Amino acid sequence: MAATGIQALPPLAAIRAFEAAARHGSFTHAADELGMTQAAVSYQIRVLEDRVGMPLFRRRARGVTLTPDGARLAERAGEALEILRQAFAEARRSSDETLVISVLTTFATHVLASRLGRFQIGHPEVTTRLDVDNRLADLQAGEASVAIRYGLGKWPGLKADFLIRTTFTPMIGRAYAERNGVPARPEDLQRLPLIDPDDNGWAKWFEAVGLAAPRPTGAGRLMLGTELLSSQAVLAGQGAGLLTPFYFREMLARGDLIQPFDTVLEDQGSIWLVYPERRRNVPAICAFRDWLLAEMRAMAPSGGRLPAAPPSDGGAGG
């Protein structure tokens, strides 16, 4: 008698052991996570390999690596277990899911902070928490549900949705302009105090307008390191800073910030929403993704159309 589809499935314990070992790249770490011995994990994986009829790992002296067949199975197994987890959460009528959003400081300040309440109103069943930090959260390990990252759009095991291109141009504050006037020519910027003068964006911008960047000196330099702090220094009238026009549209419209020149350069990377590929169907992540992409379209200067995403050749941190 032929086996039914359910009977043909391998034991769930074997699938769980395999998925954990694939995710960690280690039988030992999988055993720690599952509360099993390393020998038990190894046995369950042998059961699975016997069932599929092929090796899923290459055993090495310093650990294990997935075979190509193992890598394909690991991706599907992770998705299947995530679907099961979500199904049991729904069966328990779990309505208190926390969506942890790891986000860059400037994006949090100028995009999310004033808008996230609208997402909460539309999705009262989801608790949201912002983790504002420029370091890379380990999404695969569960440090956050989703992240907003700077980079080229490709991180292993993560799905990336394009949000905005990053651009930069010099800006000054109203306070500085009232004291000293607005620079009339790009060469006038060479005589202004530059915030973060070691930022290579200055050399690129001056080169784009046919000038050499001022050579930073050892004394009197203002080094802040983040766009959020640079913008505060510019608003306070402390000099010219390289800022992203998208983030400061309202301040530019009010005249609190002034963009003296039309030359705007594109940075190498862009801003992306990323989350584990195997969790892409989690309802809270789907809801946040759809909401954020709609918000970005509403903020886009091109009539509600986001610009095309650049090619995603590799990832970068930030």
* pLDDT score at 218: 53
Domain boundary among 70, 91, 112: 91
Give domain status of residue 309, yes or no.
no
> What pLDDT shows up at residue 95?
45
Among 50, 74, 91, the domain-final residue is: 91
Together in a domain, 143 and 196: no
Residue 198: CB atoms within 10 A of its CB come to 12
**Do 221 and 151 lie in a common domain?**
no
pLDDT value at residue 92: 55
Instruction: Give the pLDDT score at 6.
Output: 47
Q: How many domains does the chain have?
A: 3
Residue 148 and residue 292 in one domain: yes
The reply to whether 318 falls in a domain is no
Asked if 258 and 276 sit in the same domain, the reply is no
Residues 201 and 238 reside in one and the same domain: yes
Evaluate the CA torsion angle 283, 287, 288, 293 in order and state its sign. Answer: positive
Going through the chain in order, the beta strands assigned E by DSSP cover 57-60, 63-66, 97-103, 126-132, 146-151, 158-173, 241-243, 257-258, 265-276
Question: What is the Cα 35 distance to its own chain's centre?
Answer: 32
Q: Which domain holds residue 201?
A: 166-265
Distance CA 257, CA 250 (A): 9
Q: Are residues 251 and 177 in the same domain?
A: yes
Rounded to two decimals, the pTM is: 0.66
The count of other CB atoms within 10 Å of the CB of residue 260 is 19
Per DSSP, the three-state class of 241 is strand
Residue 308 lies in a domain: no
Residue 304 falls within a domain, yes or no?
no
Chunked into runs of 10 residues, the chain (318 residues) has average pLDDT values of 56 90 89 90 91 89 86 90 78 64 92 92 90 86 91 91 94 94 93 88 94 70 78 93 93 95 92 92 92 91 52 42
Co-location of 241 and 207 in the same domain: yes
Bridge partners of 165, per DSSP, are 270
Which CATH number fits the domain that encloses residue 15? 1.10.10.10
Q: Are residues 155 and 216 in the same domain?
A: no
Residue at 307 is within a domain: no
